[in-house]
Amino acid sequence: MREESFRFLTSLVEAPSPSGFEQPAQRVFRDYVTPFAPVTGDVMGNSIARIAGGGEGATRVMLVGHSDEIGLLVKFIDDNGFLFFGAIGGIDPQITQGMRVLVHGRGGAVPGVIGKKPIHLIEPKDRETVVKMETQYIDIGAANRKEAEELVRIGDPVTFRVGVQKLHGDRLAGRGFDDKAGSFVVAEVLREVSLSGKELPVDLYGVSSVQEEVGLRGGTTSSYSVRPDVGICVEVDFATDQPDLDKKQNGDVGLGKGPIVPRGANINPALFDLIIDTAEREKIPVQVTGIPRATGTDANVMQISRGGVATALVKIPLRYMHTPVEVLSLSDLENAVRLITATLYRIGAKEAFIPS
């Protein structure tokens, strides 16, 4: 991966952006994309870039990846200055204990830790019990409620204090790859198209959406506003090349083997075939999975926006989803960019995606 793209990926992932508080990451997205395509925003906080092509009446294509990450939110401050919190998105309460965090207050980020009773003081019968989220608390070092309230407010978002970490080879670990990896791919496709010098046959919109983790909200509103004929959502999916996952349930999917292209009710068959044919022509490795029902992604709401949209998914294999140590392969990101970019130049009339 080129150095500038890697710096963008790192900045995007490390920018705090729990659902409803995405603008630090969205500013990174907008600053990077603006030289390649004009970017507008909306009241939800979505960032929408456009590269016009194809002339009047061209097929309108929307790419979308969401910029929000899971996180925490301050709900209560007790008399001793401890912060009690709730989850933004799906968080396993087993992973939060003992974590370093940042509380994003009006004066800036406040460091803290999620404390717990020492194991020495826990009854043996309780040591195997998961500590519920509502009983956990953040210690920012405040001596009392007054001191704490000088630094944080009810409703402040909280992120895990971890950044991007290079592992062996081209593997990266970090928080928020779900789904800032998708926003990254959308931005890189816009860059590739802009710098290619080739005229697009479609009218292209690239969206970094918000609030996916709490109900696909930004994907819903941006799809309604853009009014695409064709939509490709860029997401992450469970890599099953770790010891404790069942391939019979989630498919045979591994890091570094290419992006995932699902089939199922959420996917337009003609668009799926076009993507797979493009992968074969361009010699881009892909992995196919089956999703029998609606997907829990922005593709779900995009498909049923207005009168319906021909929708597909391109997904990045990811280990340890919704933890602070998500792991992916850079080659999968790069191949997703190649695949989507090549596909865009082969999309014709929107009528081609109407089932016959």
| Whether 150 is catalytic | no
Q: Are 113 and 101 in contact (CB under 8 A)?
A: yes
Which DSSP letter does residue 319 get? B
Q: Which residues pair with 260 in a beta bridge?
A: 287, 315
Please tell me which residue in 22, 188, 212, 334 is annotated as part of the active site. Answer: 212
63 contacts 189 by C-beta, under 8 angstroms: yes
Helix (H, G, I), strand (E, B) or coil at 184: helix
- Looking at residue 344, its amino acid is L
Which SS3 state, helix, strand or coil, does residue 41 take?
A: strand
At 350, list the tokens. Answer: 């929107």
Q: Which residues of 85-95 are buried (b: 16+ CB within 10 A; e: fewer)?
A: bebbbebeeee
What strands, in cross-sheet order, belong to the sheet with 326-329?
A: 165-166, 171-174, 326-329
* Distance in angstroms (rounded) separating the CA atoms of residues 335 and 337: 5
Q: How far apart are the first and last CA of the chain?
A: 41
* 3-class secondary-structure state, position 99: coil
User: 251: part of which helix (H) or strand (E)?
Assistant: none
Contact 40, 33 (CB under 8 A): no
Check whether the bond before 31 is cis (ω within 30° of 0).
Answer: no
* Strand locations in 89-182 (E): 100-105, 108-115, 137-139, 157-160, 165-166, 171-174
165 CB-near residues (< 8 Å, 6+ apart): 172, 173, 174
Active site residues: 212
